[in-house]
Amino acid sequence: MNKQDLTLLTDLYELTMMQGYYVKGQNEKVIFDVFFRANPCNNGYSVCAGLDQVIDYIKNLNFTYEDVDYLRGLGIFSEDFLHYLSGFHFSGDIYAIPEGSVIFPKEPILKVIAPIMEAQLVETALLTILNHQCLIATKASRVVYAANGDGVMEFGLRRAQGPDAGLYGARAAIIGGCVGTSNVLAGQLFDVPVMGTHAHSWIMSFPDEYTAFKAYADLYPDNCTLLVDTYDTLKSGVPNAIRVFREFKESGRTFKKYGIRLDSGDLAYLSKQARKMLDEAGFTDATITASNDLDEYLLHDLKMQGAAINSWGVGTHLITSKDCPSFGGVYKLAAIQNEEGEFIPKIKISENTEKITNPGNKTIYRIYEKDSGKLKADLICFADETFDPSEDLLLFDPIETWKKTRLPGGSYTMREMMVPIFRNGECIYQSPSVKEIADYCRQEKETLWEETQRLFYPHQIYVDLSPKLYEVKKNLLNQVNKG
């Protein structure tokens, strides 16, 4: 899918609302927030990804003649409105949390400040981009955590929900911590390592397993990983791999990287037996790679069982986030500008407390413990609020307000998380490379306490409101209650 095609990647009601605003002459500047309500997979944090595609989408957002003709054919849009669309371009501002950042529920990860027609149009595309890539980056981060320092390769292209999901899912997986991907197009477009071995069909196409292994080793001595479970892993596959490794060594040749891959059976038992056989044959540096419907839970259990695996190929469960297939990000109106140029906070009310929004033009400050550098909490506040880390800071739960923590002045540091991306429709942000984003993500996760990173029942990071924002929110709720 080329970038131009994304203009009509929207829900119909975005366009019908746009026409309604157009007809009513209603195009005041507004603020919309993108945020999510819960971490996927019951995780302690999420990983931000997708901003680079958002930038491409906004840069290339315009209606072609073909787009306008198609909309005209629907029979629901006026010629005046279609004429407006033919000259459309985004003229607003966008702020966002950089890709690779750890993020938490209820805080805005992206903010759109634009005339309401423009802000309304971009909702669907922003959500589909960010929801997918944040989800896969978070899932990848969990898998990488379970691997405990071993390399994790993303192998999911053939099981992804379509080409775009496979492509941008691979990118997100690298951001989340994977060392490479089997997706060659992702390697080309994003300059990330591509990795792979061979299939069972390679073995089956030769007269016997040994001949297949030997042919592969001759072709790829720099990266020779042999799939040993086509016939019988321990009686045939591993012995034949050892035979090829030994003959290679005896001929005076060396492998740059070599080993075996297990794709079926009891991976804990088979890997330990294979490791013993390889070591006894003198190939102690041979790697053992595993695949076969892996996820973070299976990796965790295999590690606990002492599996002799030091490289992992993870496909279906990673690229689809199989146990939690949606991220749940939403796009909500937070403020409307009045005639004097002031943004008036707006709030969405719900009987479900979790769905009540935070009003106003906001930003986020991340608070770190000064001595350890560990993340203490996130503070959502108005964009014009400032704080002095040399002074005491009172944090309180915005729902259970009696839960309070006072941070002594000088004991903490603060960092504003949202950065400007577009200003007056022009992109002012240069996206780092995917490798740089992945490095940044690793640094971000180092600021998390171990208790927040664990797979099961992690500690949840506190996301609090500034006193000023809390009071505005409380007053708006009181106004609604008074009718």
Please compute the mean of the pLDDT values over residues 348-357 and round it to a whole number: 87
Picking from 384, 386, 407, the residue whose alpha carbon sits closest to that of residue 395 is 407
At the fourth CATH level, which superfamily is domain 3-136+325-360+418-459?
Answer: nicotinate phosphoribosyltransferase (3.20.140.10)
Q: Quickly count: other Cβ atoms within 10 Å of residue 40's Cβ.
A: 21
What Rg, from alpha-carbon coordinates, does the chain have?
26
Residues 364-376 have pLDDT tens digits of: 999 999 999 999 9
3-state secondary structure of 113: strand
Picking from 193, 135, 191, 189, the residue whose alpha carbon sits closest to that of residue 160 is 135
pLDDT-derived band of residue 444, with 50, 70 and 90 as boundaries? very high
- Give the pLDDT score at 15: 98
Out of 2.60.40.10, 3.20.20.70, 3.20.20.140, 3.60.15.10, which CATH number does the structure's domain 143-319 have?
3.20.20.70
Average pLDDT, the chain: 96
**CA-to-CA distance for 192 and 284, rounded, in angstroms?**
29
Residues 55-104 have pLDDT tens digits of: 999 999 999 999 999 999 999 999 999 999 999 999 999 999 999 999 99
Per-domain residue ranges of the chain: 3-136+325-360+418-459, 143-319
